[in-house]
Amino acid sequence: MVIQPKIAVISYNTPHRKTQDVLNGLKAKGYEKIKVFALPFIQRENPFKPIYQHRPSKAIEVEPIEFCKNFGYSFDLTTAETLNEQLNDFEADYVIIAGAGLLPDELVENHKIINTHPGFLPLTRGLDSLKWAITKGVKIGVTTHFVDTEADAGFLIEQKLVPIYGNDTFHSVAYRQYEMEIEMLINSVELIPTLTDFKSLSSNEFEATRRMPKAIEENLMLSFENYKQQFKVD
């Protein structure tokens, strides 16, 4: 008899595309002992609006608690202040981030939390990693890692390059990268027990980026066409 791992999923208390995709993937893998810990979602008054939106964001309009009930998964509200104690009580084998901002140091130090980053760390730390990779002409990839107190650092679990094809558009690459994020995050539960050594990801070699300024982003499509000619695999 296979013993099912207990998996905690950290997310927001709002319909959230990535969380829904992660839970769908865990369900498809047959995982049953899942509990979602939902942090408050605060809508920004003046959200940053990029020229090119590239992250899939349209979620099914079902409240997280109902989404979990449909899957037979547990659900609990949480806050940054109470999450550490709640995770201690749940005694999860794995803790996965499906949606969250920066987590308190105490939480990160007390739990091995798995994150997926849309970039080939440490080359593209921070925000808008795909856009910065294209602009800088560096590898486009996906990284799963254990969270550290430093942004997009910690111990490496897995890295993969996103293939670029001659007929790709910027948005087809962005969606392929997103699908790889979901797949790698879910597969990390099976992968971690097979690993014996975890490489430390440097947080000093490359500075974490901020949102791409529009003065740079307005040239992104031209940069992508140049990038594609250099890195395409066919």
Looking up residue 128, the CATH number of its domain turns out to be 3.40.50.170
Residue 126 has what pLDDT? 86
Asked if residue 172 belongs to a domain, the reply is yes
Domain count along the chain: 1
This prediction's pTM: 0.92
2: in domain: no
State how far the Cα of 208 lies from the Cα of 201, in Å rounded to an integer. 13
Domain that holds residue 91: 7-231
Instruction: Let me know if residue 193 belongs to a domain.
Output: yes
Give the integer Cα–Cα distance in Å for 121 and 56. Answer: 21
Quote the pLDDT of residue 49. Answer: 86
CB 118 within 8 A of CB 95: no
91 inside domain: yes
pLDDT by position in tens, the chain (length 234): 568 999 999 999 999 999 999 999 999 999 999 999 999 988 777 677 899 999 888 899 999 999 999 999 999 999 999 999 999 999 999 999 998 877 888 888 889 999 999 999 888 888 899 999 999 999 999 999 998 877 666 789 999 999 999 999 999 999 999 999 999 999 999 999 999 888 888 767 788 888 999 999 999 999 999 999 999 887
Residue 59 lies in a domain: yes
Q: In sequence order, what E strands does 45-92 have?
A: 74-77
Compute CA distances 25 → 34, 44, 75, 94, 139, whole Å: 12, 29, 17, 15, 26
**35 found inside a domain:** yes
Quick check: is 93 in a domain? yes
| Position 1 in a domain | no
